[in-house]
Amino acid sequence: MKFLKTLAAGVALAAGLATTAFAADPLKVGFIYVGPVGDLGWSYEHDQGRLAVEEALGDKVETSYVESVPEGADAERVITQMALSGHKLIFTTSFGYMDPTLNVAAKFPDVKFEHATGYKRSDNVSTYSGRFYEGRTVLGHLAGHMTETNTIGYIASFPIPEVVRGINSAYLAAKAVNPDVKFKIIWVFTWFDPGKEADAANALIEQGADVIMQHTDSPAAMTIAEEKGIFAFGQASDMKQFGPNARLSSIIDNWGPYYVARAKAVLDGTWTSQDTWDGIAPGMTKIGEFSDKIPAEVRASAQKIADDIAAGNMHSFTGPINKQDGSAWLAAGETADDGTLLGMNFYVEGIEGDLPQ
Amino acid sequence: MFQLEKRPQPSRFWIGVTPILAVIATMIAGGALFWALGKDPLASIRMIFYDPIFGEFAFYYRSQILTKAGPLILIAIGLSVGFRAGIWNIGAEGQYIMGAIFGAAVGLAAFPVEGWYIFPAMVVAGALGGWVWAMIPAILKNRFGTNEILVSLMLVYVAQHVLSSASLGLLKNPEGYGFPGSRNLQQYESAANLELFAGTGIHWGVMAALMAVIAAYVFMTRHILGFQVKLTGQSPRAAMFGGVIPARIVVFCLGLSGALAGLAGLFEVSGPAGQITIDFASGYGFTAIIVAFLGRLHPIGILLAGLLMALTYIGGNVAEQQAGLPSAAIQAFQGMLLFFLLALDVLSNFRLRRTKRERA
Amino acid sequence: MDFSAINPVSLIATLIIASTPILLAAIGELVVEKSGVLNLGVEGMMIVGAITGFAISVETGSPWLGLVAAAAGGAGMALIFGILTQYFLSNQVATGLALTLFGLGLSALIGQSYTGIKPPAFPKLDIPELTAIPYVGKILLNHDFLVYLSIALVLGVWWFLNYSRRGLTLRAVGENHEAAHALGYHVTRIRLGAILFGGACGGLGGAYLSLVRVPQWTEGMTAGAGWIALALVVFASWKPWRLILGAYLFGGVSILQLNLQAVGVNIPVAYLSMAPYIVTILVLVIMSGDRTNAPASLGRIFHASH
């Protein structure tokens, strides 16, 4: 009896496989988010990217997502579950998923993985990230113009190169238009904690900041800025509804085009493992609409910066620039190479305070 | 009117039956909760309880249940000894973290040397880390009479910050492009805590948990110290008259639970988690408290309760992915399970009796 | 490093705001513990209050109704605890922990559809003439309703416990429930009342977090505030006035840490963030010499057997 059962199952399986080979099954694309889609920041924009894939490719794809997945062992399980349940392209959207993604990729060689903001690749794992620092240059330029107290508050999450790049590029741009500008930086050691971010925003405002920049995921700082009547920038998403008066502009992560391109590559069979680091030019980093509160000539100059960066005429880190301790880093006209930027762990000259180590 | 009448001895029948009743009651209440959220209750319950053991990908889930249950059982065994004596170690999470940090530090310091002695050294360091962290509330309790619940709890938050600091500084991977997090121990052969039998999810942590269950059973039923622990919990005065020194019991219980929690942390960081990161700690220390109570503070009970909790976690992951059920639903579920168990527990200690209301 | 950038007046005003949620939760827990019950589920009650208040506030458009709902939500959670510990005679530590776990899960479930929504704002007491009074104006007279309510509650509880008949009865129950029962007091009912009050206060504390501080709803947003409140009660030796001191101390250290960072102080951030918890432990050690104030029946199960 058992033998017959197994035989029957085997036949059914074979038949099933045969039929699926003929039918054009939609490509199952999975997304793993580190936060809730409702954070209206980082994870929200990734989900927008997912929706773009659905819209562009219609019934050739079937997308699904799991949100608020903690990094670590749990992540590995969720990614494995996705791979087991037939997803052939999986996007893991946080740095901390790096090793779990690679572990699962090793066990499922026919599944393609895309890991955001990581640096390890393999035959079926690609990495991608945005040159957010290019956007910071534009925002820093705006902040430098719009501040009246010459104090800009910066809410930073973790002292990783990505965040340090953002601080440095914003500072350089602000200083270029306003030599007296000072940055006050608070490290909150979290990506998403509205309470802490609000407290940090309040502390910065109390110490005289009238423009707030953030590298954290919630709209808390924007809400506080609105309440206190100062300026702020949206991070990862526009955040206009939280700060109709406060919001000057924003950096919007625009993952859609990249996600659609990669999904198409899997469908075409042209997918290969690669590293993508795109900024303003390919549209991955979008600058949000400039607020009316910004004077027309500043809006024009900011737009010019954005266009210059996009055209390749300008680089966010162009010498002469020294490191914070005074040692020379970039000579006049020299631009920073990607390698240094990837591992950036120092402040540029002029920023006060120490980088937490 | 009903009245509760204390039983002379706890009823063994009810002690065995209440956990099963509690599970059934939770399934019903949980199903109702899911239905209120607009999810199919039967499918959700099936995904949580049935699929991980018998479902389509059960071969993978079953191993994950063991991997997840390992640390829970290990910590809970340690906690149960203390709880029996009335010593409430609520800070197991902090001891777990410190054990992981100490153990990982030893491993990372030894890198890239390979040798059979490295992993045992890490194990010792892990136990030591947890033990040291638990000694703080123990000493404060003995010396100053400070409440161990609050001290051990505050130390959890301190430990979390130490973990943050270590991931960003002391233990940071020098080849990691400046990103927080230590080297991945899974890739360092002498330090890795990999599966002992492929595909089963059993790593040294799971083995340690099993050994702890057996050791605890023997200890509590045969060893004089186990008897003293139980006596201290039931009646501190009788214990003192019996020659038990309360300070020693405090040190022993907190030390044991701290060491076991530290061990669990070490096995986890060198195994499933792989590296020291800022959010390495996932709440096992607190869940283990629930497991201890679910298991009635008895080693075999804890073994079963640990497996059950692990099942709900894994099942929750399944439901999360297939039904879009939020991960938080499982926490509510586990809370309900404990509520029902605590409520039904009254039947094992008390008898329900109908009384006529006295008319004055 | 420019310490003059830290404005002491603003600092005190901000720390009052930061301390209010734990003060609210702690004053409730103080009453509960005075009656002899140890409710470790403060975190659960706070967060359920936070989401209930937020949800009702958003649905009805009135933050005041939200407050009422928050108190009701917290009290509802406390009711579960009360029934289990007073009528089903369950272990208080385990029940409190289960309450925390359940509360965190339930609130996250309810809150799923409320992430990212902005609730109606709370009016702040904003009389320009009063605010203009130097120092005192900004520190004391420019806050929102809940801050003043928290102070009023502390005052009320102090008066209740020390000067009213019912308060005396409650303390008696906490000191020796057998004797109180023998005297004819309804121990279970008194304790249940205290538990419900504690739940309502915890709910209000949570509502402050979700409706005033940011305001926003996030899963797990209480971030340990409930546990801090528990420590505060011990810190205050179960005396209401000391509670305010403790709450402001704790809130102050957390806020100070952020301000010091902004000024550029070189102490590693991790140590600054740890400071509030270590200070609490130190204070606990110092205070625990003074054990005479703990209600003698704290945590013991009462069962009328006659």
Contact B327 A343 (CB under 8 A): no
Name chain C's partners: 3 or more CB pairs within 8 A.
A, B
Which one has a higher pLDDT value, A155 or A11? A155
The pTM for the full model equals 0.83
Chain B residue at shortest CA distance from C92: B342
Write down the mean pLDDT value for chain B.
85
Question: Domain containing B15: what range?
Answer: 1-39+327-360
Chain A nearest CA to C13, separation (Å): 11
| Same domain flag for B224 and B286 | yes
Give residue-wise pLDDT tens across range B252-311.
999 999 999 999 999 999 888 888 888 788 788 888 988 998 888 889 999 999 999 999
Chain A nearest CA to C112, separation (Å): 8
Give residue-wise pLDDT tens across range A15-48.
444 444 444 688 999 999 988 787 777 888 899 9
| Same domain flag for B120 and B258 | yes
Q: Which of B60, B177, B326 sits opposite A343 (nearest CB)?
A: B177
Number of domains making up chain B: 2
Contact C216 A187 (CB under 8 A): no
Which residues on C lie below 8 Å from A41 (Cβ)?
none
Q: How far is CA B115 from the centre of its chain?
A: 31
Instruction: State how beta strands A61-66 and A27-32 pair.
Output: parallel
Q: Looking at residue C305, what is its pLDDT?
A: 52
| Same domain flag for B69 and B138 | yes
Answer whether A350 touches B (CB < 8 Å). Answer: no
Give residue-wise pLDDT tens across range A208-224.
898 999 998 888 888 88
| Same domain flag for B235 and B345 | no
Q: Is C289 helix (H, G, I), strand (E, B) or coil?
A: coil
Give residue-wise pLDDT tens across range A309-341.
888 888 888 878 888 888 888 888 888 888 888
Give residue-wise pLDDT tens across range B180-190.
788 888 877 77
CATH topology of domain A17-130: Rossmann fold (3.40.50)
Give me the percent of chain B exceeding a pLDDT of 90: 28
Residue B135 lies in a domain: yes
Q: Looking at residue A323, what is its pLDDT?
A: 87
Q: Looking at residue A21, what is its pLDDT?
A: 42
Q: Which of A122, A127, A196, A188 is CA-nearest to residue A158?
A: A188
Banded model confidence at residue A154, pLDDT cuts 50, 70, 90: very high
| Same domain flag for B140 and B174 | yes
Which residues on A lie below 8 Å from C5 (Cβ)?
207-208
Answer whether B139 touches C (CB < 8 Å). Answer: no
Question: Are C73 and C52 spatial neighbours (Cβ–Cβ below 8 Å)?
Answer: yes
Answer whether B170 touches C (CB < 8 Å). Answer: no
DSSP H helices in chain C? 8-34, 42-60, 63-82, 92-111, 128-131, 136-140, 145-163, 165-175, 177-182, 187-208, 225-235, 240-263, 269-287
Architecture of the structural domain at A132-253+286-342: 3-Layer(aba) Sandwich (3.40)
Q: Looking at residue C2, what is its pLDDT?
A: 60
Rounded distance between C-alpha atoms, residue C169 and residue C191, angstroms: 11
| Same domain flag for B91 and B192 | yes
Chain A residue at shortest CA distance from C225: A195
Q: Which of A38, A104, A112 is CA-nearest to residue A75?
A: A104
Which one has a higher pLDDT value, A74 or A100? A100
Q: Looking at residue C136, what is its pLDDT?
A: 65
Residues whose CB is less than 8 angstroms from the CB of residue A19 and which lie 6 or more positions away in sequence, other chains included: none
Q: Looking at residue C67, what is its pLDDT?
A: 92
Chain C residue at shortest CA distance from B340: C84
Q: Is A203 helix (H, G, I), strand (E, B) or coil?
A: helix
Give residue-wise pLDDT tens across range A267-276.
898 888 888 8
Which residues on C lie below 8 Å from B145 (Cβ)?
288-289, 291
Give residue-wise pLDDT tens across range C127-180.
666 556 666 666 666 677 888 899 999 999 999 999 999 999 999 998 888 888
Q: Of the given ranges (A81-90, A199-208, B171-180), which has the lowest mean pLDDT?
A: B171-180
Chain B residue at shortest CA distance from A30: B321
Contact C278 B158 (CB under 8 A): yes
Give residue-wise pLDDT tens across range C72-124.
999 999 999 999 999 888 888 888 988 998 998 889 888 877 877 777 777 76
Chain A residue at shortest CA distance from B160: A189
Residue A8 has pLDDT above 60, yes or no: no
Contact C91 B149 (CB under 8 A): no
Name chain A's partners: 3 or more CB pairs within 8 A.
B, C
A159-172 burial string, b = 16+ CB within 10 Å, else e? bbbbbbbbbbbbbb
Give residue-wise pLDDT tens across range C268-296.
767 777 777 787 788 778 776 655 566 76
The CA distances from residue A41 to A219, A254, A258, B64, in Å, are: 8, 12, 18, 32
Residue B44 lies in a domain: no
Q: Which of C295, C278, C189, C163 is CA-nearest to residue C234?
A: C295
Peptide bond into B112 cis (omega under 30): yes
Rounded distance between C-alpha atoms, residue B46 and residue B31, angstroms: 10
CATH class name, domain C3-126+140-293: mainly alpha
Q: How far is CA B99 from the centre of its chain?
A: 14
| Same domain flag for B341 and B320 | no
Residue C232 has pLDDT above 50, yes or no: yes
Give me the percent of chain A exceeding a pLDDT of 90: 23
Q: Looking at residue C260, what is its pLDDT?
A: 81
E-only strand ranges, A191-280: 211-214, 231-236, 247-253, 275-278
Give residue-wise pLDDT tens across range A243-283.
888 888 888 888 999 999 999 999 898 888 888 888 888 88
Give residues 112 to 141 of C whose Cβ lies within 8 Å of B.
Answer: 112
Answer whether C211 touches A (CB < 8 Å). Answer: no
Chain A residue at shortest CA distance from C122: A227
Q: How confident is the model over B124-141, as a mean pLDDT?
A: 94
Answer whether B269 touches C (CB < 8 Å). Answer: no
Domain boundaries, chain A: 17-130, 132-253+286-342
Residue C54 has pLDDT above 90, yes or no: yes
Residue C223 has pLDDT above 80, yes or no: no
For tokens 């607020």, the residue is: A291
Q: Looking at residue C278, what is its pLDDT?
A: 84
Contact C291 B146 (CB under 8 A): no
Q: For the packed helices B118-144 and B148-165, what is the interaxial angle rounded to 10 degrees? A: 140
| Same domain flag for B23 and B163 | no
For tokens 């500072």, the residue is: A171
Which residues on B lie below 8 Å from A28 (Cβ)?
none
Contact A193 C218 (CB under 8 A): yes
Give residue-wise pLDDT tens across range A293-315.
888 899 899 889 888 888 888 88
Q: How far is CA C167 from the centre of its chain?
A: 20
Domain boundaries, chain C: 3-126+140-293
Give me the percent of chain A exceeding a pLDDT of 70: 93
With a cut of 0.95, is the ipTM above it?
Answer: no
Domains A17-130 and A132-253+286-342 share a fold: yes
